[in-house]
Structure formats: structure tokens, C-alpha cells
Structure 1
Amino acid sequence: MRDDMDKVIVERPRRGGGVQGDGRGFRNSRERGSHLGMKRGYDRPKWLNENLAPLKRWLHKQVHRPWDKVYTELCSGIDRRSTVQAHIFEHIDQFVVRDAVMRDGQVWVSASWWGRGGRAPLEEASHVELFVHPLTGILLPNRRLREARAAQRARYGNWAEQSGDKPYAVYHVIDESTQWHRVDGCWFEITLAKFPARAGATQPEEKCYDVLRRCLVTRSGAARRPAPGMPTHCGLYGRNDVYAATKRQLGRREVRARLGDDA
């Protein structure tokens, strides 16, 4: 761990604070309390602004090491006697599950971030990236994380379909390069662009960012079979030779004027 890890994580300006308008109206009103502090009605509270990304990257680099040694090294780099630095240890449980148990030869972890709802097998925990093995005490990555998150998306898709609010509803074709898509209850105008042609047979395909799928895609990747629970590229746009280049949220009046009751 770098020597100035505590400064990288903690020493950032706190957010919030500052004067929020004139508080004299509240202080002179009948709704105020009988005893008020000097800042009541004027300020808003501040909150911490930690940069936890370096801590998360450092923990991912410590996999396959005994957790006791990792924790010892972490304590040596961060002073727990400092109130601000000690707050960092409250975020460790967001990145590492330390209370895993063994049941019938399987590793079970908390079913949610906050430890509510009992426990679940590790392969079903979509929120667990790192965990401490309950028998060996080794820090290990969740190698089934991708499958767990795909299954979670599939469960959400089934629930949304039953409730009538599909995350990816049937799109409407406006013209050859424009489509309307309903995503999470909001309508967006998608501008399609064709994948660039490959320069040569030996040259790699150019990657393009799809604003609807929120990932980099290629022509050959668009034709591949997607992860479980995710729609196919052709199912989203009706063709595999285009991707979503731009996205614009539509207004309610604009949608109703064109789609009517279908909106």
C-alpha cells in the first residue's frame, strides 16, 4: 500500500454547506423552535467526500492473500485513531464480505448489501465482488459474479414483463436512422449509425460506443449470443449492422402526439 493512501482517500474538500438563502424568514416565523442555533435557517449540512476508488483497486490486487495480512497492512497505512480516517473502515464491507459461512459445502454470504434478508449462495450474490473464505481465510474474488448479475437482470426482466413495465419495450421505427425506445418507463429518440467497414482482413474491428446498451460493440459482437436475460442486438434495433450513436429523451407531449394511447 502506498504511504499516502490515507491522504488520497480522505483529504478532499467536503461537499455541501454554504448559505442557502436568507434564513431570517424562518427564524422570525412561528414555526421555529424556542431555542435555535446561530446557523439554523441559513446553512445546509456537509458530508464526506471520500475517494474510495483507490481503496477498491488496492483490495482487488490483494486477492489470494490471507485476509489477516491484508487487514494488517491496511491498518498500518490508515490511522484508526483519527476520526476521519477511521471512517474508511466502515466502507470495507462494501467491497469485501468478511462474514461468509459454509453450508453443505457451499459458501453463503449476506443476501444484500446491508445484511438483511438472510443469506444466499455465493453464485447468487450479484453484489459480492470479493469475499473471505470461511475456512482458509483467503481473500478471493467472486468468479460467478457475471452469471449472478445476468441472472439478476433476467429476474428483473421477468418481473417487469409481468408488471407491464418492460425495461426494453417494442421500439417504434421513425425512419431508417431514427427509432424510439422506451427504457425504464421513459421514451428516447435513438439515432442509428452503421458500423465502420473493416480496413483489412487482418485489421481488428473498430469499436463503437452504443449509448443504449452502454458498452462498446463491434459488428461481429452484435451478432453474437448475448448473456442470459439480455436482449439480442437484433432484437433491440431489428438489424445487426447498426448501433445507437446518440440518445435524446422525449417529452410527454411529443410522445403522445405521435403514439397516442400507445405511450
Structure 2
Amino acid sequence: MRSDMSKVVIERPRHKYWKTLGSVKTGQRIRRYDENNEYDDLPKREKYSMHWQGGGKSAGKCFSDLIGPLLRYLRSNVGRPWDKVYSEMCEHLDFRKTIGRHIFEHVQGIVSLHCSMGEDGKIYELTGWRPDRPVEGLYVHPRTGLLCWKGAVARKKKVRAQLAALPVTCIPLSGDQYHIKLNGIWYLAELAAASRSDVELQAAGHKRPEWFECFPYNPKLKKIEYYGWGGPHKRHYWILSKRQLSAKELKAAKLSNDAAQDK
């Protein structure tokens, strides 16, 4: 571990100091002094907007810590016993001092120290205020005590796997016409948006409309579409009318009823 880790993580540069050779007063690059030149036309006061552009006296220091070097150090020690890694950090960082204690707080946030192995063989992070979850990133193996790493599964891969496991039960055709699957049987149905109340539909001549919900299917992309951050969202409809598809219609639409329902 590098001896200046505490300084690298804690001490940050000042704002806008990429303007080397820049004038603090004007924010412009300083030119060589020319005794034959007239400098009376240069501004003698700082603009108020300079404070908001990071120049002049307002140039302060960053207060966010730079944990990249600390993370790289921990990643380079994957496979080593965690006790040895921790002892090595204690040689360069004093937990009794504010800076050292602050670095160790970062370590506790980066490395999952308290884990257990579930019945399914997966490693779970033990948390006291929420359900245990599979570990991601750096963690200490509960049996071997080694520092390990598990890359997070890409969100897109999770979504694809989640959508692929969903059953297709509603295929839009044209207008209000849909192919829907109820209890393993495909129907040709007329659906109405769930925003319309059943009282309104009954007043329009539709008696006792049936409630139907499904995941939105895109026939062009041939997959269920994804809506929202919480997962696939169902759409809700009223079934105004429906009839079961014949064997010929099923073949033309490349659909099939469940085997138990065909008997």
C-alpha cells in the first residue's frame, strides 16, 4: 500500500487551477511584460461573475474524496486473506486519527465484510435493516476469509433475462383487436383501455366487461417491451368480446394452445 494513500484520497486540488499561468485578477493568460506597451486599458477590478466561473478569490478546494486509488489497491489484493490486507493498511493508516478513520470508513463502504453462504451456494451480504442480497463488488468470503470480487451483472442482461421468462399472452393486431391467451387458450378479442370505467362500457352496450391484464408485446420486435425501473409493468384492459381461435387461425398466427387445454 502506498504510504501517501491518506493524502491522495483526502487532499484535493483547488477549483479551476487548470488555468496555469492565468491571472487571478482577470482570468486571462499573463503575457510577458513589455515596457513599451500601454497597460492602462486592462481591467483593474474583478467581475462579479468571475466568482461563479471558478476564478479569483472564490477558487476553493474540492471536498469530495478521491477513492479511485483506494479502490485500485483493494482490487489488486483480490485473492489474498483479508486479515493480511487489513494489517497492511493499518501499517500506513492510523485508525486513531481522523484521516485514518475516514479512510477505513471508505473501506467499510467498498468491501462487504459480513457475508454468509445461502442454501443455494450463493454469497449474500448480511444487512440489519433490509433483506440479505447477493454480493456485488468486493467482499470477504465467509468460509475462506479471502478478499473476493464479483462483478455486477449488467442491468441490460438482467432485463433481457427477465423479459425472456415472461409468457406472451396478448398480441396486438389492429385497432382494438388482439390475440389474447386465457387459461391456456388463444382468443380473438376486442379490448378497451382500462381507463374507461365498467359503468361507461355497460352504458355503451357492453354487458359485464371482463378484466384482463398482460405484459405489452411488440409484434415487430417479437418481444415483450420493458417499461419502468421497477421491472416490466402490466397493461390493463376490458374484454368487450372474444371468441376462441380455430385450428386454422392458430396455424396462420403461429400460435398454439396449451397441451392440457387441447385435450
Q: Looking at CA atoms only, which structure, 1 or 2, has the larger radius of gyration?
A: 2
Category of TM-score, reference length = shorter chain: 0.3 to 0.5
User: Given the two structures, how large is their TM-score scaled by the length of structure 2?
Assistant: 0.41
User: Given the two structures, how large is their TM-score scaled by the length of structure 1?
Assistant: 0.41
